Amino acid sequence: MSTKEKFEQLKNSVSLLNPQDLDTFYDTLEPITLKEILGDWKGGQLKTGHPIVEALTGIGWYGKNFISQLNVQPLVCISKDGNLFSDTESMNGEATIWPIEFRGKVSTSLVYDGVPTVAHFRKVDENTLIGIRDGKDALDEKGNFFYFFLERI
């Protein structure tokens, strides 16, 4: 099974995914550079039952816009009237991106401006990323990360 096929299987799972299986898959993926990540991305969750999903659903999270290294809109949301906007209130600002080592590989990571939270990215392919939310209070009650994906618009 190809990496993309495995991702599609995980993305489309109707049952909860085992976080350890996601850890194993994530660790096989290649890093993404600052230049490669630039652009607009639509997001979604990989179903593990992590509690952050409720908060993201509540704010209407749509995706992320990587405009430049120092200008990232990490919480692009959909308003009640259907318009996209950058939610700067939920995480006290926006974000930047930096090459950071995580689990043995240096890849582009998103650093929030106003909270101690980092999202580490690896690429399934040029148009598909998997992210892990890391930082203070990032783990669920079982010690698992929140896994999400981004697909290039």
Confidence of residue 71 (pLDDT cuts 50, 70, 90): very high
Which residue in 119, 112, 128 sits closest to 147, CA to CA?
A: 119
Averaged pLDDT for residues 14-24: 96
SS3 55: helix
Averaged pLDDT for residues 21-34: 98
Which residue in 100, 130, 124, 113 sits closest to 34, CA to CA?
A: 100
Averaged pLDDT for residues 9-36: 97
CA dist 153 and 151 (Å) reads: 6
Tell me: the pLDDT tens digits for 3-17? 999 999 999 999 999
Lowest mean pLDDT among 60-64, 76-80, 136-140: 136-140
Domain count, the chain: 1
Range of the domain at 60: 3-152
pLDDT of residue 137: 86
Tell me: the pLDDT tens digits for 123-152? 999 999 999 999 988 999 999 999 999 999
* Bridge partners for 3 per DSSP: none
- The CATH number linked to 119 is 2.40.128.580
